[in-house]
A and B are shown apart, each in its own frame.
Chain A
């Protein structure tokens, strides 16, 4: 063995790889929704449209902090050159985003996931059930259906929060309340004595009996914290709504969005689902056998 064999420099090839490289997006609008949640309006620097379907998500990236999966809350029918993310400050990336100002840029990968089955829902009565931040992904479809109102039949929106101060998108909620062609109810788990609240007080399942459900034609679209699904699904079962008529948007912490990293797997006895590929929107009939789904 001579000296050169020990010191041989390994050859390095620089190869193409854009899979994980985010696009730059500029914050063009920012609105406080609740004490810990803000709505951000973003625009891709390339000038291109994000091109999301309702219910899809993006990987939001802040170089130096990391990436986090966030559902796109705006409908593709609105703000053609921009999109909105409704973000609660609960982790490193989301906290860092909350510190940012209009004009600053973040990274975006995606959109990822399947989104809501918009074509299947056409001509149907829709029952939206949103709990807390679950309104964020549902809002993309709600506004989509409002902008293409003639493509859908009855619209029912049930929206529940812990307290009145946690209700988001107040102007839009007021708009739903004013419209004659939408059945709309809100509820809070708890209302302090000194707060004026016109909605219901109690859990969201209390609102379901008030909805006119046509077993043939009603489709429920549900998103909320894990604990909410259990009780909402029980109540929908009371109503005998077929499970194929229920869609759920499920949260997982996708690290790649590409069906590889393994973090968003939902396992069951038969098979495993990847929330970033097979979801995040799942038909309840398909996903109910999966012990880990809810």
Chain B
């Protein structure tokens, strides 16, 4: 384990912003919330944030990205994959876990060069959570800390950060900090250990069971229509829970024409299974017409389908969906615990 003075770290970040040819992004305050955005100065970096509005997935799977460019008249198409290399500062462990899950999705079946190249060209600087949002339940989902997924991992121990290096990309980045990076002292290593041990106490929300019970619980609850209808009753089908989720990756592909109507771009855009038209086919048939069936689908996907396919529980407990759901019906902890109570 290494360590660096906070003042040296700021200098290091400012130096990257100024001199590195990659874009440096990090968590910053944004109208009393937090967001990942390009950094202008290390002073703007808030490594004490609780949760960001959107997860960092937007850097690997942007809200809109061009897949091909076309010429309408001739019908010619050119594949486009423009990647901005980035250093991403301040990713919490649950988001790192989510990125690792997402990597599997885009590597599986047909490797997706759009996502994967952005991943390859990114350096992930993680940070352990100093503050925990009221809705987060990462601790009981096992994602409050992580041993993988980062290139560099920081822990705030007062006037210094300890540094764990997770990859060669991470050590290459640290070399730019030069001699400011020292070996961590034994008491600093102890502080990190204590910090991690104490972290679960900071969470206000928790599941009342091991998350790996979810796949079997959901199987049992699949056919309980009333349960899903009751819980989905106030759903606005707005798709916010999908958009803010770090493990949601469904997308639409659409053509966006230039104003000249001579050229355009075929774009991949975020989509959401909670939106009414998501499972529509030609001729007005909709395979998930009821909001209860869409609501159930989201849970099945988080807790069972992705587990079957990749062995992961695709809810990392960040709490973004519950925090940002207008009618406040999207809290996974409430649903998970209701299911558990119903069976015990």
B172: min CB distance to chain A, Å: 16
- Check if A17 is an interface residue, CB within 8 A of chain B: yes
Among candidates A16, A252, A260, residue contacting B113 with C-beta atoms closer than 8 Å: A16
How far, in angstroms, from A12 to B79 measured CA to CA in the complex?
15
Residues from chain A with Cβ under 8 Å of B268 in the complex: 20
Residues from chain A with Cβ under 8 Å of B297 in the complex: 265, 267
- Check if B31 is an interface residue, CB within 8 A of chain A: no
How far, in angstroms, from A271 to B254 measured CA to CA in the complex?
29
A107 touches B305 (CB 8 A): no
Among candidates B79, B249, B293, residue contacting A18 with C-beta atoms closer than 8 Å: B79
- Check if B181 is an interface residue, CB within 8 A of chain A: no
A20 touches B75 (CB 8 A): no
- Check if A124 is an interface residue, CB within 8 A of chain B: no
- Check if A88 is an interface residue, CB within 8 A of chain B: yes
How far, in angstroms, from A13 to B113 measured CA to CA in the complex?
13
Nearest CB in chain A to that of B258: its residue: A64
A90-129 CB mask vs B (1 if < 8 Å, else 0) is 1100100000000011110000000000000000000000
- Check if B6 is an interface residue, CB within 8 A of chain A: no
Residues from chain A with Cβ under 8 Å of B253 in the complex: 20, 66-67, 255-256, 261
Chain A residues numbered 1-20 whose CB sits less than 8 Å from any CB in chain B: 1-2, 4-6, 8, 10-20
B81 touches A17 (CB 8 A): yes
Nearest CB in chain B to that of A21: its residue: B79
User: In the complex, given contacts A13-B117, A252-B279, what are 13 additional A-B residue pairs having Cβ atoms less than 8 angstroms apart?
Assistant: A4-B18, A5-B14, A5-B18, A10-B23, A13-B82, A21-B79, A61-B77, A260-B112, A261-B271, A262-B278, A265-B305, A291-B222, A291-B223
Known contacts A1-B41, A17-B79; A260/B17 CB under 8 A? no
- Check if A191 is an interface residue, CB within 8 A of chain B: no
Chain A residues numbered 187-244 whose CB sits less than 8 Å from any CB in chain B: 225-226
A64 touches B252 (CB 8 A): no
Nearest CB in chain B to that of A293: its residue: B287
A247-262 CB mask vs B (1 if < 8 Å, else 0) is 0000111011011111
Among candidates B109, B222, B264, residue contacting A258 with C-beta atoms closer than 8 Å: B109
- Check if B300 is an interface residue, CB within 8 A of chain A: yes
Known contacts A16-B81, A21-B79; A263/B113 CB under 8 A? no
Question: What is the interface of chain A, defined by CB distance below 8 A to chain B?
Answer: 1-2, 4-6, 8, 10-22, 24, 61-67, 88, 90-91, 94, 104-107, 225-226, 251-253, 255-256, 258-263, 265-272, 277, 291-292
How far, in angstroms, from A226 to B284 measured CA to CA in the complex?
11
Residues from chain A with Cβ under 8 Å of B81 in the complex: 14-17
Specify the main secondary structure of chain B where it touches its partner.
mixed
- Check if B332 is an interface residue, CB within 8 A of chain A: no
A6 touches B305 (CB 8 A): no
Residues from chain A with Cβ under 8 Å of B285 in the complex: 225-226, 251
How far, in angstroms, from A65 to B253 measured CA to CA in the complex?
11
B278 touches A259 (CB 8 A): no
Residues from chain A with Cβ under 8 Å of B21 in the complex: 11
Report the interface size class on chain B. 35 or more
B343: min CB distance to chain A, Å: 15
Q: Which of A2, A13, A18, A292 has the most CB of B within 10 A?
A: A13
A-B contact pairs, 27 of them (CB 8 A): A1-B41, A10-B84, A11-B22, A13-B121, A16-B113, A17-B67, A20-B68, A21-B78, A21-B79, A22-B68, A22-B77, A61-B77, A63-B266, A64-B70, A64-B255, A253-B281, A259-B109, A262-B250, A263-B252, A263-B278, A265-B297, A268-B222, A270-B308, A272-B305, A277-B109, A291-B222, A291-B223
A12 touches B84 (CB 8 A): yes
Chain B residues numbered 267-295 whose CB sits less than 8 Å from any CB in chain A: 268, 271, 273, 278-283, 285, 287-288, 293
- Check if B71 is an interface residue, CB within 8 A of chain A: yes
B83 touches A15 (CB 8 A): yes
Residues from chain A with Cβ under 8 Å of B271 in the complex: 255, 261-263
Known contacts A5-B40, A20-B253; A269/B85 CB under 8 A? no
Residues from chain B with Cβ under 8 Å of A8 in the complex: 17-18
Nearest CB in chain A to that of B285: its residue: A226
A62: min CB distance to chain B, Å: 8
Sorted nearest first, the 9 A-B pairs with minimum C-beta distance are A262-B250, A63-B70, A269-B222, A17-B81, A259-B109, A64-B72, A21-B79, A272-B305, A20-B67
- Check if B9 is an interface residue, CB within 8 A of chain A: no
